[in-house]
Every structure is written in C-alpha cells, then in structure tokens.
Amino acid sequence: MRTGLVLWVFLMAVKCFSQEKTVAGIVFDKESKARIASVNIRNITTGIAVYNNLKGEFNIKAVAGDQLVFTRQDYHPDTIKVQNNTPLAIYMERLAIQLKLVTVHDTMLSPEKRLEATKRDYNKIYGPLAYNDFITSPSSGGAGLSIDALWNSISREGRNAASLRQIIERDYEQNVIDYRFNRTSVGNITGLKDEKLTSFMLRYRPGFYTTKTLSDYEFIAMIRNNLKRFLRNQRTYSLQPLTGK
C-alpha cells in the first residue's frame, strides 16, 4: 500500500514538473536580422499567450508537441511545433519589402550655409588659422568649392592660405549672385527661355554689391528695365528678312 502511494506521488510530481516547462527564445526580422519587439506568442495547444520584451526575448510555458504562433503587425504570422526546450530563434518576414534608410541632403543650400560648411572643412585642414581674418566680405554666404580641389591647389605647409581665402571669397560672391540671379527666377520675371534667357543673363549679370544691397522690389525692377534694353537691342540689330527683287 505504501509503495503504491509513493509511486503515485512520484508520478504526479513528474507530471506537474513537465507542465511547468517553458520555452525561451528571441524574435528577429528575417531581412535585417534585427530584434523585433511587441510580438505576440500564443501556445495554441494550451491557450497561453505572452508578448516578448523590448529586446525581442520571450519565455512561454510549453512542452514538446505544443504549437506556438508568432504574430505582429506588418509581419507574416509564423507557426512552429515545439520539439524540445532548446531556446528558439524565430525569424519573421515582413508583409512588405523594407526599403533601406535614405538620408536626403539639401543640395540647394543658401550661400550663407555653404560658406559656413566651407569654413568648417577649411578648419579641419588648417586648424584655427581658418578663422584669423578668414574673409573680408560679409560673414554670410557660401563658397561651394571642393575641399579636395583646394587642398591640391596649395602646399601642405599652408603657405598659400591667403590665396585660398581669396579664392573662397571670390566664389562666395559669385554664389551670392547665382543664388538670386538664377535661370528659374529670371525666366519667371522676363518670360525668356533657352538661348534668349542665356544671352540675357550673360549680358545683364549683376555685380555682387548690387545683388546684396537691392531689395526684392528693386532687384525685380532692375531685371525688367534690363529686359526692355535687351528687347530693344534685339530689334535694333536684327536683320531684315530678304525680299526678292
């Protein structure tokens, strides 16, 4: 009698122990191999459900033969059958293809931002020398020069640093003009296109001081006055069509 009781207690203990077994693991994105969180793991055999943590890790009660279903928004559900209590690595596939992160940089920087960027790059090559009487023009603007080209144009010892500053200053001034006197804005004001627009812009390109000091109203008025001269000169110098005698 006592032997039968001991055997029954032993069997119950084994059964209880087996019911308390758990399966652990980590959930990954199949494409990026990054850990993903907020995944619902449901043991459809027992009805138990849990969520994994922010590290993608989970732990759920399950034994061999149980089926686990992994679900998450934007991912295909995944179902596995537990073979043993070895930790699992689950790779879930996205519903849509994940595009790689693309960083878009503003290529239409104002002259001011472009000059500040050039100053920073110049300082990397020459150190604090870049900020000693760097430029005599107004502090806002942009140079837009290739630092590699500048580096190749001067000696490694920096003996031509003054010449470099002059190059940056001249290009800064031209960038200020280009930023305000560009094909899009001039074309909208004059209505000119293609070769006529190019010819007008070459002939009536304003100077740096004019570009910096005129208000928007004055700048547009200047362009329109120059347009009248441009059209008048075209009529003056245009050839009359040939006529037969």
- Quote the tokens at residue 174: 């031209």
CB contact burial 95-114 (16+ within 10 A = b; e otherwise) = eeeeeeeeeeeeeebebbeb
pLDDT 10s digits, 28-76: 999 888 999 999 999 999 999 999 998 899 999 999 999 999 999 889 9
Mean pLDDT of the chain: 76
What pTM value is reported for the model?
Answer: 0.39
H/E segment holding residue 67: strand 67-71
Better-predicted residue by pLDDT, 83 or 10: 83
Residue 222 CA to residue 185 CA, distance in Å, equals 13
**Where residue 143 falls among pLDDT bands split at 50, 70, 90?**
very low
Q: DSSP letters along 91-117, please?
A: EEPBSSPPPPP-----SS--HHHHHHH
- Quote the tokens at residue 37: 């969180």
- Quote the tokens at residue 83: 């073979």
pLDDT 10s digits, 193-203: 888 899 999 99
pLDDT at 110: 75
**Where residue 158 falls among pLDDT bands split at 50, 70, 90?**
low
**Rounded mean pLDDT, 5-14:** 51
